[in-house]
């Protein structure tokens, strides 16, 4: 939403809703705020794009598809890339794809698309030098070490400070700890995806609060790596950790793991401090901890049940669908078996009426089954309650 608003202002000088619009997922503030029309440029999440494809598999109203932050390799992004590859075949003369990223490996993507008529562009960013310091925590806890590091460096650097922590709970605990000895002229704010738009805007559009406070210390998750930009950030404190889901295929459960970030993620976090002036980045870990060059693709560690259902809805064969990193066939076959058990597809892998309903809901198929079964069992009670 923030990006759409900015582009609208730069594109034709007016707010979103005319030339520039957006479509994002549901939220507590209501659906009407999540769908704003645009005649020329339309921003949308990858999940919404896949849902739009269900209604028009050739995307006849789309001429240029820009896939931003492709290096993040989310499950939905990989599916969008596969759809884009197929559309470049069926609409070879009137459809264009732009893959954008600050840390992308062009060779991997060019090999995937197998195109000869491509253009590779490098757009130099206005990035200032950012010095890096490694300061692993030993005798203190991570949060204590992070907070003491902020307090030691706060007066040495102007501008705002970003503190990358793995999750929401760590952020709340760190803010509570930091507020016990908060510097003058400073406010501590959280930033993570579960916050409301208004709470996020308090950070993104911060200028000076009613008490004259001009500096923020923002405790954030990896949402601030690329998705959101906090202007005038000059200091980054990086825990080197991130929480990510991993599907346990044996127990068919998704567990949340706290893992070390990749080198590309570390570079992204560092770069947050060099947007408007020279910056400094403190990494609360050892340089040798950065063992992975890139982010592990979500498609290799997530449940594929919903993705397989989406592909079947699009009348695409999940076992032949093009993916940059192909999961094991046994994983796809297990998802197909589950969809049969839930009556989402028949023996010929054709989607059923129930499967179409589940795909429209956009949930894990097992959650959809639970919701529908519960409604059917208690429909009369629910109707009485809402009446």
> In this structure, is residue 87 part of a structural domain?
yes
pLDDT of residue 116: 72
- Do 22 and 100 belong to one domain? yes
For residue 2, give both structure tokens: 């923030």
CA distance 309 to 344: 8
pLDDT of residue 101: 84
Instruction: Choose one of 81, 113, 145: the last residue of a domain.
Output: 113
Instruction: Give how far the C-alpha of residue 86 lies from the chain's centroid of Cα atoms, to the nearest Å.
Output: 24
Sort strands 35-36 and 64-67 into parallel, antiparallel or unpaired.
Answer: unpaired
Q: Where are the alpha helices (DSSP H) in 154-257?
A: 168-178, 197-204
Instruction: Choose one of 246, 263, 293: the last residue of a domain.
Output: 293
pLDDT of residue 33: 63
Please give the DSSP secondary-structure letter assigned to residue 183.
P
pLDDT of residue 256: 94
CA distance 318 to 118: 27
Instruction: Give how far the C-alpha of residue 313 lies from the chain's centroid of Cα atoms, to the nearest Å.
Output: 24
For residue 354, give both structure tokens: 């129930």
> In this structure, is residue 138 part of a structural domain?
yes
For residue 276, give both structure tokens: 């408007």
- Do 109 and 146 belong to one domain? no
> In this structure, is residue 270 part of a structural domain?
yes
Element (H, E) at 246: strand 241-248
- Do 188 and 203 belong to one domain? yes
Write the pLDDT tens digit of every residue in 50-82: 988 888 888 888 999 999 988 888 999 999 999
- Do 323 and 270 belong to one domain? no
Instruction: Choose one of 245, 278, 293: the last residue of a domain.
Output: 293
CA distance 279 to 354: 54
pLDDT of residue 381: 60
Distance (Å) of CA 86 to CA 42, 60, 66, 128, 173:
21, 14, 15, 39, 47
- Do 304 and 334 belong to one domain? yes
> In this structure, is residue 118 part of a structural domain?
no
Collapsing DSSP states into helix, strand and coil, what is residue 153?
A: helix
pLDDT of residue 383: 61
Residue 34 sits in which domain range?
2-113
Domain count, the chain: 3
- Do 201 and 183 belong to one domain? yes
> In this structure, is residue 363 part of a structural domain?
yes
Instruction: Give how far the C-alpha of residue 236 lies from the chain's centroid of Cα atoms, to the nearest Å.
Output: 20
- Do 55 and 173 belong to one domain? no
> In this structure, is residue 9 part of a structural domain?
yes
For residue 346, give both structure tokens: 């028949």
- Do 279 and 143 belong to one domain? yes
Please give the DSSP secondary-structure letter assigned to residue 234.
E
- Do 164 and 43 belong to one domain? no
pTM of the model: 0.83
- Do 162 and 214 belong to one domain? yes
Rg (CA), the chain: 23
Return contacts of 193-201, CB within 8 angstroms, 24+ apart.
193/221, 193/223, 194/168, 196/27, 196/28, 196/29, 197/1, 197/27, 197/29, 197/33, 200/2, 200/228, 201/2
| Contact call for residues 40 and 63 (beta carbons, < 8 A) | no
Please list the pLDDT of the chain residue by residue as tens digits (387 residues).
778 888 988 888 888 989 999 988 754 444 456 788 899 999 999 989 998 888 888 888 899 999 998 888 899 999 999 999 999 999 988 999 999 887 777 888 989 998 778 888 888 777 789 999 999 988 779 999 999 999 999 999 989 999 999 999 999 999 999 999 998 889 999 999 899 888 988 898 887 665 667 899 999 999 998 767 788 899 999 999 999 999 998 888 999 999 999 998 999 999 999 888 899 999 999 999 999 988 899 999 999 999 999 999 999 999 999 999 999 999 999 999 999 999 999 999 999 999 999 998 889 999 999 999 888 887 766 565 555
- Do 19 and 93 belong to one domain? yes
> In this structure, is residue 120 part of a structural domain?
no
- Do 153 and 265 belong to one domain? yes
For residue 376, give both structure tokens: 């059917």
Question: What CATH number should be reported for the domain holding residue 254?
Answer: 3.40.50.300
pLDDT of residue 27: 45
> In this structure, is residue 121 part of a structural domain?
no
């Amino acid at each position: 939403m923030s990006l759409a608003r900015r582009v609208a202002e730069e594109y034709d000088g007016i707010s979103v809703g005319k030339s520039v619009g957006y479509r994002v997922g549901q939220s507590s503030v209501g659906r009407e705020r999540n769908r704003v029309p645009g005649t020329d440029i339309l921003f949308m999440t990858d999940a919404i794009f896949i849902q739009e494809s269900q209604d028009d598999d050739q995307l006849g109203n789309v001429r240029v598809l820009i896939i931003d932050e492709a290096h993040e390799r989310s499950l939905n992004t990989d599916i969008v890339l596969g759809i884009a590859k197929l559309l470049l075949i069926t609409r070879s003369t009137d459809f264009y794809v732009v893959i954008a990223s600050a840390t992308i490996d062009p060779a991997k993507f060019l090999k995937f698309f197998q195109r000869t008529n491509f253009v590779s562009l490098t757009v130099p960013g206005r990035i200032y030098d950012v010095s890096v310091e490694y300061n692993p925590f030993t005798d203190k806890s991570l949060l204590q070490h992070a907070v003491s590091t902020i307090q030691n460096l706060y007066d040495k650097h102007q501008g705002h400070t970003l503190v990358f922590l793995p999750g929401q709970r760590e952020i709340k605990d760190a803010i509570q700890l930091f507020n016990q000895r908060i510097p003058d002229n400073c406010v501590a704010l959280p930033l993570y995806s579960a916050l409301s738009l208004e709470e996020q805007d308090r950070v993104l559009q911060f200028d000076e609060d009613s008490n004259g406070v001009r500096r923020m210390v923002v405790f954030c998750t990896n949402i601030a790596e690329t998705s959101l930009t906090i202007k005038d950030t000059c200091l980054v404190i990086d825990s080197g950790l991130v929480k990510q889901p991993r599907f346990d295929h044996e127990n068919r459960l998704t567990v949340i793991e706290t893992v070390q970030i990749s080198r590309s993620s570390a570079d992204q976090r560092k770069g947050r401090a060099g947007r408007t002036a020279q910056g400094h980045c403190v990494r609360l870990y050892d340089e040798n901890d950065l063992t992975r060059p890139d982010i592990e693709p979500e498609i290799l560690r997530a449940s594929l049940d919903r993705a397989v259902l989406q592909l079947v809805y699009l009348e695409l064969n999940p076992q032949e669908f093009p993916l940059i990193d192909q999961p094991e066939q046994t994983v796809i076959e297990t998802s197909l078996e589950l969809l049969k058990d839930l009556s989402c597809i028949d023996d010929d892998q054709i989607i059923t009426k129930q499967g179409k309903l589940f795909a429209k809901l956009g949930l894990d198929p097992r959650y959809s089954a639970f919701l529908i079964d519960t409604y059917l069992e208690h429909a009369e009670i629910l109707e009485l309650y809402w009446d």
